[in-house]
Amino acid sequence: MIIKQLTVGFMEVFCYILGCEETHMGLLIDPAGDEERILETAGDLGLTIESVVNTHGHPDHSCGNSKIKEQAGAKIYVHAEDDRVFNSPEGGAMAIQMGFTPSPPADVLLNDGDIIPFGHSELTVLHTPGHSPGGICLSVENNLFTGDTLFVGAVGRTDLPGGSLETMLKSIKEKILSLPDDTIIWPGHNYGGSPTSTIAQEKKHNIYITDFELA
């Protein structure tokens, strides 16, 4: 499996290009600006992008959806809760006010446990609300793409509309920390000391896990 991590957009979001090495089919997680560079990089990797998956609906993570859909014909996958909130007229107005391009409505609404295929590989959806009502993490093989749920050494903010620290901590404990310790964490921003981590490292060093005694 191919994994390429790119920092994109003025909010410096991590976008991920994932691909099947056998079929050369790929998908994007959180295209958040610099869409031409994202698609050029995918092309350099020999991948055809057929899907866009958002870890949540905040416009800093979904602002590239429209251009990627237009240029690549990719389907957009978003959790049902965040599609309802952020693809409302109010959600679109908020995105524009913040300087982002609103996302089109999702082509596929996701729920916990859903599977998103790309070639011979597939993502499993873990619903992890807390940062937003429809926040998700995406698991494939020994990798977990955590969006703004879990960062290296921190967690996503919970003071935005629909956010909840209690809900976030419950999501992390039940959905993330139950995975194998060697699972690689690929976060939504480079806010820690390194761009990736593991569940074992976070259990030892993430104060939101150690101080709240989640592990």
Which domains, and CATH codes, for the chain? 2-210 (3.60.15.10)
Beta-bridged to residue 60, according to DSSP, are none
Judge whether residue 92 has pLDDT over 80. Answer: no
Residue 91: what pLDDT? Answer: 75
Q: CA 139 to CA 142: how far, in whole Å?
A: 7
Q: pLDDT (tens digit, 9 = 90+) per residue, 131-188?
A: 999 999 999 999 999 999 999 999 999 998 899 999 999 999 999 999 999 999 999 9
Averaged pLDDT for residues 85-112: 85
| pLDDT tens figures, 18-27 | 999 999 999 9
Element (H, E) at 68: helix 65-72
What is the predicted pLDDT for the residue at 101?
A: 85
Q: What is the mean pLDDT of the chain?
A: 95
pLDDT in tens, 26-58: 999 999 999 999 999 999 999 999 999 999 999
Residues written for the chain: 215
Instruction: Name residues whose C-beta falls within 8 Å of residue 118's C-beta, 6 or more positions apart in sequence.
Output: 18, 19, 20, 25, 26, 27, 50, 51
Query: What is the model's pLDDT at position 174?
Result: 97
DSSP at 103: P
Structural element, H or E, at residue 28: strand 25-29
- Residue 54's pLDDT is what? 98
Question: What pLDDT is recorded for position 89?
Answer: 75
Helix (H, G, I), strand (E, B) or coil at 128: coil
Q: What pLDDT is recorded for position 199?
A: 98
84 vs 157, higher pLDDT: 157
